[in-house]
Amino acid sequence: MKRIIVTGGLGQIGSELVPFLRNKYGKENVIVADIRKPENVDEIEPFITLDVRNEEAIISAIKENDVDAMYHLAAILSAKGEENPQLAFDVNIKGLYAVLEAGRKTGLERIMIPSSIAAFGPETPKDNTPNDTILKPRTMYGISKVTGELLALYYWEKYGLDVRGVRYPGIISWKAPPGGGTTDYAVEIFYYALKGEKYTCFLREDATLPMMYMPDAIKAITMLADAPAENLVHRADFNIAAMSFSPKELVEEIRKYVDFEVEYKPDYRQKIADSWPRSIDDSAARKEWGWNPDYNMASMVKDMVKNLKKKLGL
Ligand SMILES: NC(=O)c1ccc[n+]([C@@H]2O[C@H](COP(=O)([O-])OP(=O)(O)OC[C@H]3O[C@@H](n4cnc5c(N)ncnc54)[C@H](O)[C@@H]3O)[C@@H](O)[C@H]2O)c1
């Protein structure tokens, strides 16, 4: 991997993955691609506008920029996807197909595609969810993630296209806002807490879900990208885990730093959360590429409070 394109590179994960990759491979060798143009485009360069549903445009971007690898992050997330399932199908499934075909036709060395705990469904065991288990999601987002996992395996076995990915849990970060997922509360709540404002949580206080702090999310996908192919039994369906907590437990941890009021008003997102695991067995990732997380809930909250206070000038 020498010249990398990051689709959806302006999103929550891209905003932190891109600086990491640029540090490693050189700024000019990591091209940010997104459907929207950033205000500060000069700072983001090299940047291109790209709709991942357009295979021809992806092929041109790969050829013109002499790209040999891709992190494909462009997607419509779980909550947004349930508001507009047709758009989620279009971007997440047709867009992925366009990316895989473009990768196959141009001979990309590697494509990284994040999956999600949304690949699981109500029939999946909820605690210590195994890597290889029942995948019957009921959201369009989850369906698109299972499709991606299966297509990754198919393109590898049929064409030798090396597509890999992890099943991310909810990602917590302070640099860029989350993009419309079911675990967004775990980021929003910090802004309210630190400003001393009341927070209305859209999940129940006991809705325990697997979560991960952004530095670990970046570590996971880049470690997997660099793992020797011969060590991998799985492809784009690796469970990874770091912590699990409920809104109530997160509130208690944040209250060690600031006091604030919380009210619980579960909405349609609670139903999505109800279909997801509480905790994850990540032993396959540990065994096949040496995965281990650095942050638990306490160290994540400490770091979030420190960085967000600085960001908000508090
Ligand atoms: N953030 C999480 O908690 C989380 C959890 C599990 C999995 N993931 C996965 O990680 C990946 C990145 O997620 P994220 O949180 O950064 O998402 P995000 O919503 O923050 O960013 C997605 C980006 O994709 C762009 N985009 C949307 N449609 C596009 C299109 N047609 N063409 C090009 N770009 C388009 C958006 O403008 C946005 O910048 C996704 O595959 C997502 O499913 C994220």
116: domain CATH number? 3.40.50.720
- Told to judge if 264 belongs to the known catalytic residues of this protein, a careful annotator would answer no
198 with 227, same domain: the answer is no
Does ligand 1 have an atom closer than 6 angstroms to the CB of 12?
yes
Q: Are residues 232 and 103 in the same domain?
A: yes
Compute the distance from residue 146 Cα to the ligand 1 centre, in Å.
16
Task: Tell me the pairing of strands 4-7 and 69-72.
Answer: parallel
**Residue 289 counted as domain residue:** no
Residue of minimum CA distance from atom 9 in ligand 1: 114
Q: Has residue 288 been placed in a domain?
A: no
Shared-domain flag, residues 64 and 193: no
Widest distance between CA atoms in the chain: 56
Residue 285 lies in a domain: no
Q: What is the pLDDT of residue 9?
A: 98
Q: Is the beta carbon of 170 within 6 A of some atom in ligand 1? A: yes
* Best CA proximity match to 115, nearest among 139, 75, 145: 145
Give the 3-state secondary structure percentages of the chain, helix then strand then coil, rounded to 5.
45, 15, 40
Domain that holds residue 301: 171-211+243-278+294-311
108, two tokens:
């990309």
- Cβ pair 283, 249 in contact under 8 A: no
Q: Is 100 in the pocket of ligand 1 (CB under 6 A)?
A: no
* Ligand 1 atom closest to 170 (CA): 3
- Does the C-beta of 14 come closer than 6 Å to ligand 1? yes
Task: Mark whether 68 and 156 lie in a shared domain.
Answer: yes
Ligand 1 atom at minimal distance to the Cα of residue 171: 3
Q: pLDDT at position 273, please?
A: 97
Q: Of 25, 71, 97, 141, which is the active-site residue?
A: 141
pLDDT mean by block of 10 residues, the chain; 314 residues: 97 98 98 96 96 98 98 97 98 98 98 98 98 98 98 98 98 95 97 97 98 98 97 98 98 98 98 97 98 98 98 95
Quote the ligand 1 centre to 257 CA distance (angstroms).
31
The answer to whether the CB of 52 is under 6 A from ligand 1 is: yes
Q: Is residue 254 part of a domain?
A: yes
Q: Which two tokens stand for residue 30?
A: 């990591």
Total domains in the fold of the chain: 2
Q: Percent of the chain at pLDDT above 70?
A: 100
The answer to whether the CB of 47 falls within 8 A of the CB of 33 is yes
189 and 176 within one domain: yes
**Is position 286 within any domain?**
no
Q: How far is the CA of 178 from the centre of ligand 1 (A)?
A: 9
Shared-domain flag, residues 147 and 220: yes
5 Cβ contact partners less than 8 Å away, ≥ 6 residues apart: 30, 31, 33, 61, 62, 65, 67, 69, 70, 71
Residue nearest to atom 25 of ligand 1 (CA): 8
Q: Which residues pair with 177 in a beta bridge?
A: none
CA 193 – ligand 1 centroid, Å: 26
Instruction: Tell me: do 143 and 263 sit in the same domain.
Output: no
* 114-159 pLDDT per residue, tens: 999 999 999 999 999 999 999 999 999 999 999 999 999 999 999 9
Task: Give the gyration radius of the chain's Cα atoms.
Answer: 19
Interior CA angle at 97 toward 92 and 101, to 5°?
150
**Residue 204 confidence (pLDDT):** 98
List Cα–Cα distances, 192 to 172, 200, 232, in angstroms: 15, 9, 42
What distances in angstroms separate CA 206 from CA 56, 97, 122, 248, 266, one per listed residue? 47, 38, 17, 6, 11
Per-residue pLDDT tens over the stretch 278-300: 999 999 999 999 999 999 999 99
Q: Identify the residue whose tokens are 């997440």.
A: 92
* Res 130: pLDDT: 98
Ligand 1 atom with least separation from CA of 179: 19
CA distances (Å), origin 276, targets 114, 117, 125, 273, 306: 17, 7, 9, 5, 30
Rounded distance from Cα 11 to ligand 1 centre (Å): 6
What pLDDT, on the 0 to 100 scale, is given for residue 312?
96
pLDDT value of residue 234: 98
Ligand 1 neighbourhood includes 13 CB (under 6 angstroms): yes
